[in-house]
Chains A and B, each alone.
Chain A
């Protein structure tokens, strides 16, 4: 595709937005030619991080974009909020750990669904999750 890198941005404030974000991400990944299984993995991961925004921060945003790195192309998802932040990131990435009454598999699950996964979080200032799924070479 010769067009400039595509990007979609979805404000997250309600559970409708969670659905809108994962659908937008899925569409973008589809345009980039990712396989059906990868589209599903990306959409599911977006759903998890978007719900974390509504559950813990109240509002935030999801940005999904095409990226190119060392000749590979992929889909990068950035989930950003200015919520309470995560006190213990390592524990938040453990299965079964939750402070919100869920199953505690959202973050570790999203990490397993994607190829790359990074969290930066500051207590009282917010959380940014950046995750990538690479298209097969």
Chain B
């Protein structure tokens, strides 16, 4: 099932609602990378609060999204990892050290704001 992507100001929000197949994950990856350019977004929030399994494929794909987003001049924040999912990820060995994370959507948006400010990429005051 495709993941809905909302555009909120300069941020894209991908809120994963159901279990994703590998095909869904790759589709999400392509869509986000394309939309970052189309909407000149400064950031992406990927909300995985509804996800009950974060296996190595999903973790690898999320890391790839984060890296591609950065190459496109924006930042990705992963939010909503559930406690038991975090536990399983550490056991599995997919700690995603190089990916920004935040507790929830609100914290994620705040983190993006601060990342944008530090990089100073956008000149004037933030939106």
A interface residues with partner B (beta carbon < 8 Å): 15-16, 18-19, 22-23, 26, 36-37, 39-41, 43-44, 47-48, 51, 95, 102-103, 105-106, 108-110, 112-113
Contacts and interface: CB of A to CB of B under 8 A. Distances in A.
A112 B53 contact: no
Interface residues of B, number: 21
A44 B93 contact: no
A112 B56 CA distance: 13
B94 A109 contact: yes
Given A43-B52, A109-B56, A19 B19 contact: yes
Interface string B37-75: 000000000000000111111011000000000000000
A44 B21 contact: no
Contacts of B22: 15, 18, 51
A44 B91 CA distance: 10
Q: Which 10 A-B pairs have the closest CB atoms?
A: A109-B92, A47-B55, A40-B84, A15-B21, A15-B22, A37-B84, A105-B93, A44-B88, A40-B88, A43-B53
A26 B22 CA distance: 19
A18 B21 CA distance: 8
A12 B20 CA distance: 16
28 contacts: A16-B21, A18-B21, A19-B19, A19-B20, A19-B21, A22-B19, A22-B53, A36-B84, A37-B88, A40-B52, A40-B85, A47-B57, A48-B55, A48-B92, A51-B22, A51-B57, A102-B57, A103-B56, A103-B60, A105-B92, A105-B94, A106-B56, A108-B93, A109-B92, A109-B93, A112-B91, A112-B92, A112-B93
